[in-house]
Structure 1
Amino acid sequence: MKLVVSLTSPYARKIRIALAEKGLPFTLEVDIPWLPDTSVPSYNPLGKVPALVSDDGEVWYDSPVIALYLETLGGVPLMPAERVACLPVRQTEALADGISDAAVAVFLESRRPPEQQDAASIERQLTKIHRGLAALEERLVQRKGFGGITINIGDIAVGCTLGYLDFRFAHLHWRSTHATLAAWAADLMARPSFVDTTPPPA
C-alpha cells in the first residue's frame, strides 16, 4: 500500500497512526496539495490528502473512508464490529474532523493578506472549534465513542485534531479550558504512533 500525505495534515496523520496501530505495512509519499507541481489530484480528484493506493491499485479517499477500508485488512481493530456500537465511535471521529475542518479554514484565511481576510468568517470558525472542544470533553466524560480501554479511530481522530491545534493554534490554550480532555490526551499523545507522526516544525 502507498499513502499519499502532507506531514502537517491532521487527516493524513490520523491514517498514518491507524496504520501504525494496526501494524499494517505501507510506503509514504509526501506531497503538498497546494503546490503547483502537486500530483495529489491524480490520486484524489478533489486534490486533498490523504489518499491510499491499495495493493490491488484501488485508490481510497478521504480519511473516514480510508479508516473504514483499513478495518477490512485485519490487524488490531479500531472500530467495533457491531454497527450500532460503531456509531458513537464514528460520531466522535466526525466531530474531531469537523474541528479540524474549522481550524484549517482559519489557518488558510489567516494566510491571505490582512486587508483581504474575512474577520467574520474567522470568528465563525473559531466558535465552531470552541463548541466542538466542549462537546468532545462532554463525550469523554460520558465515555461516548472514545476514551475506552483500547484505542479506536475516534481516539485517534481526537488526538490528531488536538495535535493540529497545538501545531497551528497554540495561542488558543485549549488545555487551560478543557482540563479533562487535556489529561486524557497526554497519555494518548505519548504513544509511539503519535510521537512518530508529530508534524515537523512550522
Structure 2
Amino acid sequence: MKTDDLVSMLATGAAPVERHVAAKRFGWALALGTLGALAVVVTGYGVRSDIAMLLHVPLFWAKVAWPACVAIAALAAVARLGRPGKPVGGWWLGLATPLALVWLAALLLLWLAPPGMREHLLLGRTWRSCSFNIALISLPALAAALWAVRGLAPTRLRLTGAIAGLMAGTIGALTYCLRCPEMSVPFWATWYLIGMSIPTAAGALLGPRVLRW
C-alpha cells in the first residue's frame, strides 16, 4: 500500500477531538468517586454524631485540608500524565509539600508531648482499622479515576495508575473524616497516609493492565 493511500485510509471518518475532554472525564470521575465514597461512609460506617460541632473546630479543618491539598496536586499531576509528553512539572512539589508539612507537625508534637502521651497520640483508638477503612472507602474513586485516565493517552502507565490511586486515596481520606474519631496530628499523619498509600499501590499494579491503549 502506498503512503498516500494509507494516510487517506486513516483519515477516513476522522472527527474533531471533543474540546475539554480531559476536564470532563475528571469532573465525572471526581463526582462519581466522591459520591461512591460518601455512600460507603454513610451506609457502611455512619457519620459522627458530633459532626456539626466539629465544623467549628480548626483542627478538624486542618485534618481535612491536608488530603484536600494532596488531592488537588494529584488531580493536576494525573491529568498531565494522561497526555503524552506533558510534563508534571511543579505539581510534584505540590504533592510533596503537604505530606512533608504534616509529618513535620506530627514529629514536633510527638517531641513536645510527655513520653506517656506519645503512644496514644500515634495510635489513638482506631489505628488497627483506620488505614483499611480509608482504602475500602476509596475503591469507587479508584475505579472512577482509572476510567478517566483510560479515555486519554497515558504513556507512563504504572506511574499514572499510582497517581490516580493516590487521588482516589485522598477522596477516601476526606470522606472518612466524617466518621473518624481521631483528632491527633501524629495519628492521621501516619495512618491516613498508609490508607492513601494502599490505593496508590493498587493503581500502580493495575495501571499497566487497565490503562494500556
Judge same fold: TM > 0.5, yes or no.
Answer: no
TM-score normalised by L of structure 2: 0.37
Of structures 1 and 2, the larger Rg is shown by: 2
Greater helix proportion: 2
Instruction: Using CA pairs under 8 Å that are at least 6 residues apart, name the structure with larger relative contact order, 1 or 2.
Output: 2
